[in-house]
A and B are shown apart, each in its own frame.
Chain A
Amino acid sequence: MNNKNFNNHMEETKKEMETLFFQCQKELDEIERKKREIFDRLKEKLAQEKINQLSKKNE
């Protein structure tokens, strides 16, 4: 393996690492987006519930 091939070997390895990184990042982003959606929904419900309970108290 000459120097050029050696450099190619390093570059290919880094490329494979980058590909896995971006693929993983994409999957993680998708999951985190879903989590945020659910979380926000729950927060909204919680806020709504607080309002409802306050209203009940005032009644």
Chain B
Amino acid sequence: MNRELSFEKKALEGGSVGEKKEKIIKKSEGLNRLNIDELYALADEQISRITEKKNSGNFGVNSDEISRLEQELKNLSIEEQEDIKNDLDKLKELSLKSAQILEKFKEGIKRIIAVSILLYSFSAPAFAAENQTEKIVPQKKIEQQLKTEKLNIRELHPGMIIDREELKRCLRDASKKELNEWIITVVWEKGKGERRGEILEVIEGGLTSSLSDANIFLAPLAEGKRIEQIHTHPKATVEREVGRSNLTYHDFKKFAFPPSFSDISSLYQSRDFLQKNGLGITALLNKKLFVEEPSGEWEYGIEDESNLRMKRFSDFIEIWRNRRNERGRKMRINKEELKLINNYSEEINKNSDIKYEFTKTIASFFTDKAKEVEDEQIRARCLRIAREANLIIRETGVEAVKESGISQEDLDLVVEIEKLTQEIYGFQNAERASSKNKAKKIEQLKKYYKEFGIFLKYTEDK
């Protein structure tokens, strides 16, 4: 098929920083976290069924029966017969093989879940947005908030000059009151303790790596300026997950909301992006990352650039990105879908990430577009394109894990981190949480992140 995407022929410059300043990105889509328990429950059920089949099966023979038969044959002194001996050996060999299949299955299931958690971590945030879009703060409440004297998160906009203390207070407040995660990117003015800065980007909901316009960092970082990207981990997400509507001061002594593995993966992806654009570690170290939670602040970043795990994950990111972009450009689409893509080419082109993240941009663009359009046929085409792009993203992710040398040990660590963060958040085993084991778990999390070459600092409110 002669397929030509018209926007690919144009210069893919995206919008200028000036244009970006006018844009406040808002993504308040329903999100849910990966239900590890559900996957493990399914795995347990499948392992039981396979074990049962191995031990008795529909027409299988269990090891007790074989032992009894062997003994009877011995008692009759006929084991010396060659054909019987061969049959017995074959039987034992087959039993061993079925035990190996069971072990291989257990390993395979474990790996599928671990890879799934890894790919999810590279695609979705743990906090981001409320489960139901109708829970978005009503306009009336926003208007009331805007009347108060203190700066409100909803007043922030790109291009705004802001005081450091005021911004931190504003974000802390947002982590307590807002339903969604907010991400603010600021470039600090040099000198005088970098107390004043200009807001580059404001995002409500969503994931830094997939929604932030990474291009806006490039110029300030190349000039040696310091950038901070601060995102909130809202109390509301935890309240939803622990099934309580009003967490108290006492609860915050038991729970904390450190950066998730998704945040770490965003950092890795940001590192990859800066390197691709000719900026090295100095630029990356000039980009500080923070999480504001209701009762404290987390800082995280690269501690050891030469960390081997970081190297393997960087390889994974690069292989995955190249592969998904390459496959995305050859995506299976029919004539109507091609026409649709070309009709939207100008709009798609406005995403300056398209050059770097072709397939992800297409997937995200057509998912959003499907919500906007009224024509059922067009909506179906949009969803089909988004589905195809997402399938490519997933398939190439699985391939990239294999090719990048990510070990089972690496994957196990990702699973451990995912489980541990969910416990620290109170998403899991909330009833067993205490201030004492919170401190222990945070220390353990720091150790885990260190394994990835990442530092983690926590400043808890007194």
A4 to B58, CA, bound (A): 39
| CB pair B76 A32 closer than 8 Å | no
Q: Residues 24-50 of chain A: 1 if any B CB is under 8 Å from the residue's CB, otherwise 0?
A: 110111011111101101110110011
Evaluate contact between B32 and A3: CB separation under 8 angstroms.
Answer: yes
- Residues of B in contact with A, size category: 35 or more
CB nearest to B50 among chain A residues: A24
Contact (Cβ within 8 A) B101 A9: no
A17:B43 contact, CB within 8 angstroms? yes
Q: Which of B377-398 contact A (CB under 8 A)?
A: 387, 390, 394
Contact of A35 among B42, B61, B207, B210 (CB under 8 A): B61
B78 touches A27 (CB 8 A): no
Determine whether B295 belongs to the interface, using a CB cutoff of 8 Å to chain A. no
* Contact A9 B394, CB 8 Å, known A1-B207, A32-B98: yes
Whether B12 sits at the interface, judged by CB under 8 Å, is no
Contact partner of A20 among B60, B95, B109, B390, CB < 8 A? Answer: B109
Contacts A31-B101, A36-B61; A1 near B123 (Cβ below 8 A):
yes
| Interface assignment of B215: CB less than 8 Å from any CB of chain A | no
Cβ of B69: which chain A residues have Cβ within 8 Å of it? Answer: 39, 42-43, 46
State how many angstroms separate the Cβ of A49 from the closest Cβ of chain B.
5
B367 CB contacts on chain A under 8 angstroms: 2, 4-5
Give the distance in Å from the alpha carbon of A38 to the alpha carbon of B9 in the complex.
67
CB contacts (< 8 Å) of A8 on chain B: these are 387, 390
| Cβ-defined partner of A31 (8 Å) among B97, B105, B109 | B97
A7 to B58 Cα, complex, angstroms:
35
Contact partners of A41 in chain B: CB under 8 A: 87
Whether A2 and B31, one on each chain, are in contact in the complex, defined by CB atoms closer than 8 angstroms, is yes
Q: Decide: A28 and B120 in contact? CB cutoff 8 A.
A: no
Q: How far is the CA of A27 from the CA of B60 in the complex (A)?
A: 12
Residue of A nearest to B47 (CB): A21
Contact of A14 among B42, B50, B91 (CB under 8 A): B42
The stretch that binds A, out of B33-41, B147-155, B159-167, B276-284, is B33-41
Compute how far the CA of A17 lies from the CA of B98 in the bound complex, rounded to whole angstroms: 19
The answer on a CB contact under 8 Å between A46 and B73 is yes
Given A10-B34, A49-B76, the answer on whether A21 and B50 have CB atoms closer than 8 Å is: yes
Pairs A-B, 6 closest by C-beta atoms: A32-B60, A3-B30, A1-B124, A13-B116, A2-B29, A24-B105
Query: Could you list some 27 contacts between A and B, CB below 8 A?
Result: A1-B207, A4-B367, A5-B123, A9-B34, A9-B120, A9-B124, A10-B34, A16-B116, A17-B112, A20-B112, A21-B49, A21-B105, A24-B105, A25-B50, A28-B57, A28-B98, A28-B101, A29-B58, A31-B97, A32-B53, A32-B98, A35-B91, A36-B60, A38-B87, A39-B65, A41-B87, A42-B73
